[in-house]
Amino acid sequence: QEQLVQSGAGVMQPGASVKVSCKASGFTLTKYYMHWVRQAPGQGLEWMGIINPSSGGASYAQKFQGRITMTRDTSANTVYMELRSLSSEDTASYYCAGSYVYAFDIWGQGTPVTVSS
């Protein structure tokens, strides 16, 4: 059974960084392009960016350019998303999702991140 298993919830200080992991289970990470999507409490979904696990190449939404980095470790079958300079507006659940082509075929369970002092 294919699954994406994400790291646990976290509480971060304003100005800090967070790194969320997403491990593929039941399939090889390189099967999908991997994305990160976030959802603030009571709000809609927001696409953050994409990484090609085969090459490691990434592309980010303009809104996050300069403070986001997506990486992968193929030996660990895991992708990571690091977001820096956190503010309260970054409080959200962060999802990884895999797309075979254009749609998000598989989703992780989500990682709640709270930014608070």
Other beta carbons less than 10 A from residue 76's beta carbon: 12
Q: Which of these ranges, 9-17, 18-26, 66-74, 99-107, lies near other proteins under the rule CB under 8 A?
A: 99-107
Distance between terminal CA atoms of the chain? Answer: 40
Q: Pick the binder of other proteins from 12, 31, 47, 74 (CB under 8 A).
A: 47
Q: Does residue 110 belong to the site contacting other proteins (CB under 8 A)? A: yes
Q: Does 27 bind other proteins (CB under 8 A)?
A: no
Least distance (Å) between residue 91 CB and other proteins:
16
Q: Among positive and negative, which fits the CA dihedral 83, 79, 70, 40?
A: negative
| Amino acid symbol at 90 | D
| Residue among 7, 1, 2 at smallest CA distance from 79 | 7
| Binding of other proteins by 44 (CB under 8 A) | yes
Using CB under 8 A as the criterion, which residues of the chain lie in contact with other proteins when the complex forms? 35, 37, 44-47, 50, 59, 61-62, 95, 97, 101-105, 107-110
